[in-house]
Amino acid sequence: MAPLSSMPEPEDGPDLSACIAAIAESKSRDAFTQLFNHMAPRIKAYCLKRGASPAEAEETAQETMIQVWRRAGQYDSARAAATTWIFTIARNKRIDLFRKEQHPEVTADDLVQSMSDPVDAESWMEQSQTGEALAQKIRSLSPDQAEVIHKAFFEDKTHQVISEELDVPLGTVKSRIRLALAKLRSSMTEYEG
């Protein structure tokens, strides 16, 4: 492959497909810089036109370009133009951000808010039984929901990390957690003190 600097550039910017290929093949920082400088402002403008605040647009542009860096090897120029591929990532990031605004993240604090300090053996035994019941209820969740609950609350991983590990959109991770918690709460009402 010819060095990026010797490649012919279209009038409107660098050869985006060649930049992505260079990132995929050798993690070329020069190629990424060219790609970032060309695409980040366009992604930001795209988000602003669709109602994002300047901060949201900036965040979406940066998150998109991080995904481009990480997934450059998945790009197939025979299936889509580079701009189409990049803007698809941007659109998905924007949707994730919108979902995040509509449904705030569920934290481990949400689960332990109602827990009380054990004060005696009877209380400890009751909590132990509740814990067993909770473990059983978690096992009865769908495998997808049980997996995200385990990663979020037992492995203490962020939603973003879970999304990357499972290779699913951030909004999907949050939806699975929210639905699983709703099922767990409704099935555990008999154990509330």
Residue ranges making up the domain that contains 29: 4-102
17, 95: one domain: yes
Q: Tell which of 53, 82, 102 closes a domain.
A: 102
CATH code at 18?
A: 1.10.1740.10
Q: What is the DSSP string of the chain?
A: ---GGGSPPPTTS--HHHHHHHHHHH--HHHHHHHHHHHHHHHHHHHHHTT--HHHHHHHHHHHHHHHHHHGGG--TTTS-HHHHHHHHHHHHHHHHHHHHHSPPP-HHHHHTT-----SHHHHHHHHHHHHHHHHHHHTS-HHHHHHHIIIIIS---HHHHHHHHT--HHHHHHHHHHHHHHHHHHTGGG--
CATH code at 123?
A: 1.10.10.10
List the chain pLDDT tens, one digit each, 193 residues. 333 333 333 446 788 999 999 999 999 999 999 999 999 999 999 888 888 889 888 989 999 999 999 999 999 888 889 999 999 999 888 887 777 766 555 555 555 555 555 455 555 556 566 667 777 778 888 889 888 888 888 888 889 989 998 999 998 999 898 988 888 787 766 555 5
> What's this model's pTM, rounded to 2 decimal places?
0.48
136, 46: one domain: no
